[in-house]
Amino acid sequence: MSERIFISPAKYVQGKNVIQNIGGYIKDLGEQTVVIADETVWEIAGNDVVKQVKQENIKAEEVVFNGEASKQEIDRITEIANKANATIVIGVGGGKTLDTAKAVSDELNGYAVIVPTTASTDAPTSALSVVYSDDGVFEGYRFYNKNPNLVVIDTKIVAGAPPRFLASGIADALATWVEARSVIQAGGDTMAGGSTTIAGQAIAEKCEETLFKYAHLAYESVQAKSVTPALESVVEANTLLSGLGFESGGLGAAHAIHNGFTALHGDIHNMTHGEKVAFGTLVQLALEQHDEKEIERYIALYTSLGLPVTLEDIKLKDASRDDIMKVAEAATTEGETIHQAFNITADDVADAIYAADRYAKAYKEKNK
């Protein structure tokens, strides 16, 4: 019997305008920071972060993120941070920026401060980064011996982001309980390195419960660019509950299938992480024994939020059987998370991809 392990960030802060207090949260961590954000995010939040940090007499080296969480980008920014003698790395923006910030912090053996500007993935709280090639092809996970020291998510900024990002985060988070449940049933290990704790299971379940209750209201709140209790609940589910739930609850097929999609070229790379995970979740449900009502519960929520549910929706309408087998083979390579939940072949996964596509088409036809 493997040991039970639960991991989490040292501190999580969420709320309207909390970015204005970030200097106070990090003032005891050091005197030199490197702040990483892409060109767009500098205008949205990066400049505010630097301003607040400097008000606490902390120096800030500003770095523009090039867009890919690759080894080359991690090495480039690490060199800049070393030259600045930085001990604090602040990542501001989306999942790839944040994953890069965590990697740079690890290289420096420093403090990681994570400032998401959307609630589009569950990456912020985790002790890992997803690493890609410079061309966006999934290469693997990079694990750390600790989670971020601080996660700060300003819901006013989240409310101002395009609704597609929140919907993507909901899709990513809806995979949390589906995957954790499968790992628990199979007796597999979690990303934290042990078996699922009662806490990890409870958090993953609460994540799904929260999303089915409040996802629509939160989505409408972002349409109105308004911070509401429903939005606060969904932001917490997307970010904290899903982050803790996937890491200490377990990852199964949905994310492995997402990773498999990176083996293909073309328009699928214009889909967000969460959008690909949405379809991956339907594939996992197709691999398991669920009744029609249960599967349609997910399809209904996805479609109401504009999320993809068919191969056509994820830009694979013309994909050949060979293309789908490439995805399935990549999803079942040695070390992929699918093996924590299933004893399965690539052919099984390919069949489930076609089945999930058919289920969603039938649902759409029935609900025209």
Q: Which of 210-214, 290-294, 321-325 has the lowest mean pLDDT?
A: 290-294
Q: According to the model, what pLDDT value does residue 138 have? A: 83
CA distance 352 to 280: 10
Per-residue confidence (pLDDT) for residue 141, from 0 to 100: 85
Among the listed residues 48, 154, 189, 258, the single catalytic one is 258
Q: What count of Cα atoms within 13 Å lies in the side-chain half-sphere of residue 352?
A: 27
126 among the known binding-site residues? Answer: yes
Residues with Cβ < 8 Å from 345, sequence gap 6 or more? 332
Residues 52, 72: Cα–Cα separation, whole Å: 30
pLDDT at 281 over 90: yes
Was domain 12-159 assigned CATH 3.40.50.1970? yes
**In the predicted model, is pLDDT for residue 294 greater than 80?**
yes
What are the distances in angstroms from CA 33 to CA 29, 30, 53, 56, 80? 10, 8, 9, 12, 11
pLDDT at residue 126 is higher than 80: yes
What is each CA distance from 31 to 28, 57, 87, in whole angstroms? 8, 7, 8
Is 38 among the annotated ligand-binding positions?
A: yes
Helices 273-287 and 163-186: angle between axes, nearest 10 degrees: 30
* Mean pLDDT value of segment 296-306: 98
φ/ψ region of 282 (left if φ > 0, alpha if ψ in -120 to 50, else beta) reads: alpha
Mean pLDDT of the chain: 96
pLDDT for res 1: 58
Active site residue 255: yes
- The yes-or-no verdict on residue 341 having pLDDT over 80 is yes
pLDDT tens figures, 132-190: 999 888 898 899 999 999 999 999 999 999 999 999 999 999 999 999 999 999 999 99
Residue 119 pLDDT greater than 70, yes or no: yes
Q: Which of 69-78, 333-342, 349-358 has the lowest mean pLDDT?
A: 333-342
Give the predicted TM-score (pTM) of the model: 0.94
Which of 273, 313, 323, 339 is catalytic? The answer is: 273
| Domain boundaries along the sequence of the chain | 12-159, 161-366
**Any binding-site annotation on 40?**
no
Q: Counting every residue, how long is the chain? A: 368
Angstrom distance (rounded) from CA 227 to CA 221: 7
| CATH code for the part of the protein at 161-366 | 1.20.1090.10
Is 364 known as a binding-site position?
no
Specify whether 172 is catalytic. Answer: yes
Give, in degrees to the nearest 5, the angle at Cα 125 between 229 and 140: 135
What does the alpha-carbon distance between residue 69 and residue 95 come to, in Å, rounded to a whole number? Answer: 9
Distance CA 173, CA 215 (A): 11
Q: Is 241 annotated as a binding residue?
A: no
State residue 224 phi and psi, 5-degree precision: -90, 0
Q: What is the pLDDT of residues 64-115, one digit of tens each?
A: 999 999 999 999 999 999 999 999 999 999 989 999 999 999 999 999 999 9
Spatial CA neighbour of 180 closest among 267, 244, 87, 265: 244
Task: From the candidates 48, 189, 255, 339, give the one annotated as an active-site residue.
Answer: 255
> Which amino acid, residue 331?
A
Percentage of residues of the chain with pLDDT beyond 90: 94
* Better-predicted residue by pLDDT, 231 or 130: 231
Query: Is there a contact between 309 and 282 (Cβ–Cβ < 8 Å)?
Result: yes
Calculate mean pLDDT across residues 260-268.
93
Judge whether 135 is annotated as a binding position: no
